[in-house]
Chains A and B, each alone.
Chain A
Amino acid sequence: MRQPSKRFLRTALMGAAAVLLLAAVLVFFFRPTHILVINATLAQQADVALNNDSRRIRLHVTDPDVFAKDGRRLYGTDAVVIFSRGLYLDENQTAALEKSGRRGVVVFTNTLTNQHVDIQCNLSDEQRKTLSDYFRNQSAGNYRNALRYLRRIATPHRLGDRDYEPPVLLLKNMYYHREYGKYFPTHEELAAYLKEKGLYREGAPRVLFMSGLSFPVEGNRAHVDTLISRLTAAGYNVFPLTAEGKTREKMIRALHPDAIVYLPMGRLGNDTFIDWLNRENIPVFTPFPLIQPHEEWIDPLRPVSGGTLTARTVIPEIDGGIGNYCIATQNESPSGFYLYTPESERVDSFLDYFNRYMALRTLPNRDKRVAIVYFKTPGKDALLASGMEVVPSLYRLLQRLLSEGYTVSGLPETEAAFAKLVHREGSVMGSYAPGAQAEFLQKAHPLWLSRGQYETWAQAVLLPEKYQEVVDRYGPAPGRLLVRGDSLAVACLQFGNILLFPQPRPALGDDEFRLIHGAGVAPPHSYLAPYLYMQQGFKADALIHFGTHGNLEYTPGKNVGQSRSDWSDVLIGNLPHFYYYTTGNVGEGIIAKRRTHAALVTHLTPPYVESGLRQRYSSLLSDIHRALDADGGNRMLGLKIKKETVQLGLHRDLGLDSSLTQPFTAAELEQLDCFAEELVEEKITGAYYTLGQPYSPRELLTTTLAVAADPLAYETARRDRDAGRITTEQLQDLTYLRHHYLPTARRRITALLQNPPRDTVGVAPDLRPALAYRNGLIASSKNELDAMVRALAGGTIPPAPGGDPVLNPNVLPTGRNMFSINAESTPSPQAWEDGKRLAEETLRRYKERHGDYPRKVSYTFWAGEFISTEGATLAQAFWMLGVEPLRDKQGRAVDLRLIPGEELGRPRINVLVQVSGQLRDIAGSRLRLLTDAVKLASEAPESGGWPNYVASGTQDQEKALLNKGLSPVRARELSTMRVFGPLNSGYGSGMLHLVENSGGRDSEEEIADGFLNNMGAAYGDEANWSAYQPGLFAAAMEKTDVVIQPRQSNTWGPLSLDHVYEFTGSLSLAVKKVTGREPDAFFADYRNRNARRLQGDREAVAVEARATLLNPTWIRERMKGGEGSAQMFGEMFRNVFGWNATRPSALDPKLYDHLYDTYILDENHLGLHDYLREVNPASFQAMTAVLLESARKGYWKATEEQLQTTASLHADVTRTCGAACTEFVCGNQKLERFIADNLPSPQRASYTQVMVAVRNAALSDAQEVVLKEDRLSDPVRRPQLIVHAGWVGAVIGFSLILLLILLLRRKRRNR
């Protein structure tokens, strides 16, 4: 082979060198300038990138997380632009940037307030200022020129595209419109511009439009432009404004718009400004763009949470915002950047809502058509609303509307006649009582909808696929309930332009089970019909839901930002929607507001009344105090106390012995003292409240005392503590305060209120709050109706916090629109301190009782408690884990610190959390933070000599999941899941139905199984949000020793609210099934905001039972009310049943006997039977049915006489008043047989006849709900078998090997 000549080599080398040189020159002069943008929002990224018109500038964007993992992004970068808002850089990231700066890279930080991040490299002051001007004055031109400017200063030697224009300084506060570059310092100048453009209409309403501080960015604002255009086209004069702080307020006041449309980002103004808006009757509408793509928005299992929820929903609620529609999403464009995309259907819906709301301002009252939906249990029971007498309240509202000029023709002259009409015409039917349905169709005058008419409306309102869901489940219209031929009956009443109808059942038969178990079940035709009629037939101008609460807001779907796929949105239509809601229930009120676009109008709770127990227990208390003073030196007194205690049965409530020969110890006496004091001071509510009817003078006094006395006592004690007269321990001792400060506080307030002054001059400063509360209560009843009238006139409803007045007097006056709290700031500092204290108290009590720490504590998180206490129960859970939340500068809890074992001074305790759907919706980010805390605690080593039950619990959970057949990776992922709630992002546990449908289940174990299934969805992290894994909840439940239930309301207790046994009782039952042991149960009692404490479940139940159900004073107070108040008796009896089914240890075994004596024998001669027969026989039937079912189930060991008396009474009421056909009464054939078996012959026949007629035996397929459960079969435990097989195999294998070796060695020897 010929060798290449030297000449050739030389030429090749020179050629290569030339190429390299050329390449170097090209790179040096012509390489694009690479600019890296860090931490811009998606919208900003798009804006910056899409305004880059130079091919010699390459823009790269990254967020801090990616930047942290991939520092190589800095290599090859010529300039870096950092958007510092909300940014935190760690040491490595900062070092990498500074290192780049030393290499000559230009680094510019666009910072406003972030003091942590302000890295500037290779920039002179002038250059920095220029760049600041570009990026802070956000316009298309400025972005374009900023990039070119950066190219010029970062790569000055590179050729091409180096020209730029200086920054255009925009006005900081200005009006704008759709045309870029046109900005106006005053609204007059904008108006002149609009007139010039032909966009201004004289006399048309003025709408102020605001879209946060980042607008008007020129580019990524399609949704802004859409709204401006659509509002203008609808006939409004639109004034888009961007402004901050005081100037914003000034400019809005100067404009004095008729309405504000605000795409929320922060508060619109301070409280004073919001008050001004309400005084001037300027409603604020707050539709919002979502920083999520369309697919995520549509997905009902992806809630809006965290900072987005806070910014777009929570904050606007504090400003009283309404119309919180999601009108845009953010989607990836072909260029790869994210652009705002208007959701056209939602924009249409919002505009429709806005137009309708504004139309209410001009439409004469006489022409306004208003639909009112009320709530009722099936059958003949009362109209329902928490704490409110619905019928008289409805009547008052209608009367008020009549006086305001509404057309309310045909309204009966008397309330009694109105009540009769409502019960006859406006019933709710259960599918289990076909006979009752037939009776209704015969005697009432329902509205009949033909199938064709109904289907036409359904097609107009519903998405085709949603209607198809209904048809697939229930068959074609008209369905199965209240039908005749091809027509569907709608129970309703119409008085002129006012339509009243009861909210129907959201599911039928077996589907009721599925719906309340969280399955996404479509509602039946009978549910849709009245809502469709309201929208399309009646053509309502406004809608009111009346009272707490309905079920539409609990149909499955998104928590916020609904679409037309959500039933709770589409059935409301775009009507202005108002919801009368008790101020005592803020948690559920917020859900109703968000999911049905409602503006709430709060109403008062029932008045607080004296329990009347002081007299009964005063001598006992006096004796106890004397005995404590004697310090055990008076044995006779001690025995007297014991005897009286045993006679009253108090020893059972406290778990004390009943030996009459041995006095109580000092500790037991203190316990008894505390208990008796609590009974005496227990706040009980009287008869249900009627809207618009002020409290009586006595009720006003007792309620004001309830609200004001405790805080006054505490304040006085605190001053004494500060002055050294008492200790901090005494200040924190509720019993001490009740003894020494409360009586004086009550006397002072009573003296003041018996002769209330006109003003506060001359009133002691510490008494002024009591006057204010009184005035607030007085103002409330008028305010509630005024607020609704104003709302129906398109006006504002001022915002207010929620909660009962005792817990939070700032809720007064009522008649306002409740808001929630910023979940990101929870637990608040105060809640943190309370949570720590209560957690330690839990551990102390448990250790005292059991001699060791618990391994796991379970918490229930409820929305109402979360809002009222700002996360105190959440704080308890954190403290148990030994993890502390860390706050940023804005007070948000954003990070976690593991508390070292030495500092904690005890084991890390594992936790399990069950959440209501409502809490999940409003505080999803907190659940994720809690799961992060579990992960952190799981990884913590044991230290300080204390075990780590979180770590061992995580390992146990992983093992359990492995045994269930999960992959190791999946088992690991789920091993830290501790937060569980309803399936499919639903709201119901299904337990109430399961418990009360006792005829359909054979044992309580079914309740436990149902609970494990229905509440077994994990809500721990994004990846597993709403994930359901069979066996996971049970695995997480292992080793649970304690269950904690929060209570914060002074209007309900464990016997008066069914959700308490639903959660605590059911969880306790499930724990017992899983662990074999019933856990201890406590209430975290937040009712007194100055004295938050822990109370045992049995004690809490006993207090309520003695203060209410068994208290003649309370019964007499309730008897002053109507059917609503009477309904509560039946409800409380059902709750007693519920506790017996789930956690009987919480009840006094004698409770049923006491109920029998009080209600069946009427031993206090209160005239109960006559009252109940007259006012609410359905409730009476429910009460007797519950007692009899309890006996049938064995909860109540009734004597034969008790059974016969009760059965006879039940049969007599059924015969004389008709079967009520609530579920307990008509839905349980086994109970019916049991009742019949305990009746004498003549009564048996007549009773049976009535029940058969109601049920109509021919339609046997619509009888009692058959409970179907998904039976979860345990997978074959193969891994364990194989391990065992492995050991066996190994042993046999080794034996074989040994045998082999022996054989071969023997052979060798023989050889």
Chain B
Amino acid sequence: MEILFALITVLLLLSFLLKSTFLPRWGVGVAALLMALTVRLVIPFLASQPAETVNGWIFSPDRVLDIAVCIVLEALLMMAFCFSRTLSRFRFLRWYPGLLAFPAVCWAWGQLLYSSAGIHFTRFAIWAALGTLVVVLVGSWGLRRLLPEEDIRLEGLFLIQLFLLLLTIAATGAITF
């Protein structure tokens, strides 16, 4: 279950980065700032919670199902955006970068926090936020450079959503059985 979750996290982040390449530059900046701010605010909370409590809550069967539903919904939204060239009604989805990446990145930093002793919590939160900002900005720019063609990026985005759906089904299957 933990491995699946880690995979899903990585894909959500990748989806976010890829999706952000369709935003104007200032939009990427805003998204990056928002994500960094979220990380900065959430990490102190995570520091005051035992790892077991946090992960226990996330991996509880009810929660996994809820998360799966959210992933499916978001994946559908992303897929719909992939067809927005032809279906103009979905063009507004350009402004939706993917919200699930926010808790995903917080969880990822949280795991690093739980495995590190002797660190300064506030400093860690600040560096994590800065790191997130840099990764989003650089990642988005990097993907734009690597894959300058929009349709290729759209195709990539679509494939990622497919992977996410598959992994989500696997995750729900894991808690069922």
Contacts and interface: CB of A to CB of B under 8 A. Distances in A.
Interface of A: 954-956, 958-959, 962, 965-972, 975, 1275-1276, 1278-1286, 1288-1290, 1292-1294, 1296-1297, 1300-1301, 1303-1305, 1307-1308
Contact of B155 (A1282, A1284, A1304): A1304
A1303 B9 CA distance: 22
Given A1286-B111, A1301-B146, A1307-B155, A966 B50 contact: yes
Contacts of B113: 968
A967 B50 contact: yes
B87 interface: no
Contacts of B155: 1304, 1307
A1283 B115 contact: yes
Contacts of A1289: 3, 5-7, 9-10
Nearest to A1286: B6
Contact of B111 (A959, A1283, A1294): A1283
Ranked nearest first, the 8 interchain pairs of A and B with the lowest CB-CB distance are A1289-B6, A1293-B10, A1285-B2, A959-B117, A965-B52, A958-B117, A955-B118, A1279-B114
22 contacts: A959-B118, A967-B53, A968-B113, A970-B48, A1276-B52, A1278-B51, A1278-B56, A1279-B111, A1282-B2, A1282-B51, A1283-B111, A1285-B3, A1285-B6, A1289-B6, A1289-B10, A1290-B6, A1292-B10, A1293-B7, A1293-B11, A1296-B163, A1301-B156, A1308-B152
Nearest to A965: B52
Contact of B147 (A954, A1288, A1301): A1301
A1290 B113 CA distance: 17
Contacts of B163: 1296
Contacts of A972: 121
A967 B2 CA distance: 19
Interface of B: 2-3, 5-7, 9-11, 14, 46-53, 55-56, 108, 111-115, 117-118, 121, 146-147, 149, 152-153, 155-156, 159-160, 163
A969 B47 contact: yes
Nearest to A1297: B14
Given A968-B113, A970-B48, A1282-B55, 19 more contacts: A967-B53, A969-B48, A970-B50, A1275-B52, A1278-B2, A1278-B55, A1279-B115, A1282-B51, A1283-B115, A1286-B108, A1288-B3, A1289-B10, A1290-B10, A1296-B11, A1300-B159, A1301-B156, A1304-B147, A1305-B147, A1308-B152
Nearest to B17: A1297
Nearest to B7: A1289
A968 B114 contact: yes
A1278 B52 contact: yes
Contacts of A968: 46-48, 113-114, 121
Nearest to A960: B117
Contacts of A1276: 52
B51 A1304 contact: no
Contacts of B108: 1286
B10 A1300 contact: no
Contact of B48 (A954, A962, A967, A1281): A967
Contacts of A1285: 2-3, 5-6
Contacts of A1297: 14
A1292 B166 CA distance: 15
Nearest to B3: A1285
Contacts of B52: 965, 1275-1276, 1278
Contacts of A1303: 159
Contact of A962 (B5, B14, B51, B156): B51
Nearest to B10: A1293
Contacts of B160: 1300
A1304 B160 CA distance: 12
Contacts of B9: 1289
Given A969-B47, A1293-B11, A1300-B159, A1280 B115 contact: yes
Contacts of B10: 1289-1290, 1292-1294, 1296
A966 B7 CA distance: 25
Contacts of A959: 117-118
Contacts of A1278: 2, 51-52, 55-56
A1070 B105 CA distance: 42
Contacts of B112: 1283
Given A969-B47, A1282-B2, A958 B118 contact: yes
Contacts of A1281: 2
Contact of B6 (A966, A1288, A1301, A1308): A1288
Contacts of B55: 1278-1279, 1282
Contacts of A971: 117
A540 B155 CA distance: 96
A1300 B117 CA distance: 36
B2 A1292 contact: no
Contacts of B6: 1282, 1285-1286, 1288-1290, 1293
Nearest to A1293: B10
Contacts of A1296: 10-11, 163
Nearest to A1287: B6
B167 to A, nearest CB: 10
Contacts of A955: 117-118
Nearest to A1304: B152
A1279 B58 CA distance: 13
Contacts of A975: 117
Contact of A1304 (B46, B114, B118, B156): B156
B50 A965 contact: yes
B115 A962 contact: yes
B61 to A, nearest CB: 16
Contact of B149 (A1275, A1283, A1288, A1308): A1308
A806 B56 CA distance: 61
A962 B50 CA distance: 8
Contacts of B147: 1301, 1304-1305, 1308
A64 B11 CA distance: 55
B121 to A, nearest CB: 7
Contacts of A1294: 10
B122 to A, nearest CB: 11
Contact of B156 (A969, A1284, A1300): A1300
B51 A967 contact: yes
A962 B114 contact: yes
- Which of A956, A1289, A1303 counts the most chain B CB atoms within 10 A? A1289
B164 to A, nearest CB: 11
B141 to A, nearest CB: 15
Nearest to B59: A1278
A1218 B147 CA distance: 96
A556 B146 CA distance: 71
A1284 B14 CA distance: 20
Contacts of B118: 954-955, 958-959
A1293 B51 contact: no
A1282 B56 CA distance: 12
Contacts of A1288: 3, 6
Contacts of A962: 51, 114-115, 117
Contacts of A1292: 7, 10
Given A955-B118, A956-B117, A1290-B6, A1282 B152 contact: no
B14 A1293 contact: yes
B115 to A, nearest CB: 5
B11 A967 contact: no
A1298 to B, nearest CB: 11
Contacts of A1282: 2, 5-6, 51, 55, 111, 114
A969 to B, nearest CB: 5
Contacts of A966: 50
A105 B156 CA distance: 72
B51 A1279 contact: yes
A1297 B115 CA distance: 26
Nearest to B119: A968
- Which of A968, A972, A1281 counts the most chain B CB atoms within 10 A? A968
B111 to A, nearest CB: 5
Nearest to B143: A1301
